[in-house]
Amino acid sequence: MAPESVSFRITRTAEDLAQTVSALSHRLVKLEQRLGTLELALDHRQEGDPGELAALTNVEGLLRDCRLLLDDSSEASDPPIQDSLQDSVENSVQGPEPFSTPLTTAAEKPEGFANAA
């Protein structure tokens, strides 16, 4: 092999390595910039807005109050619900109670229906 050929290959390889290092360094700079942007966004997100924090605190209080009201109302309404459920089951088994009074009287009927009855 000729010395010029070896020298050319070494030079060509060195140029390729220089281009690769340059491309990698540019890519590293871009990645560092992107990382910096993400870190700033994360810091900003963690700080939070004081108004937003106050609103969330108010929402937490409202949720707590609603849960207390629901718990109180469910404790107060549980026995009647069970009684009415049991009554409805018994009525469906026994059938509906007969009506003790007529649904409408002659005075309540419209004119066209007075003669039909």
Cα–Cα–Cα angle for 8, 10, 11, rounded to 5 degrees: 65
- pTM of the complete model: 0.38
**Poorest-pLDDT segment among 11-20, 26-35, 49-58:** 49-58
In the numeric block, the tokens 């009506």 are attached to: 99
Side chain identity at 50, as an amino acid letter? P
pLDDT confidence of residue 18: 95
CB atoms within 10 A of CB 109: 13
For residue range 50-75, list pLDDT tens digits in order: 777 788 888 888 899 888 888 887 77
Residue 78, pLDDT > 70, answer no
Tokens of 99: 């009506």
Q: Residues with Cβ < 8 Å from 114, sequence gap 6 or more?
A: 106
Instruction: At 116, list the tokens.
Output: 């039909």
Q: Cβ distance 97 to 91 under 8 Å? A: yes
State residue 46's pLDDT score. 75
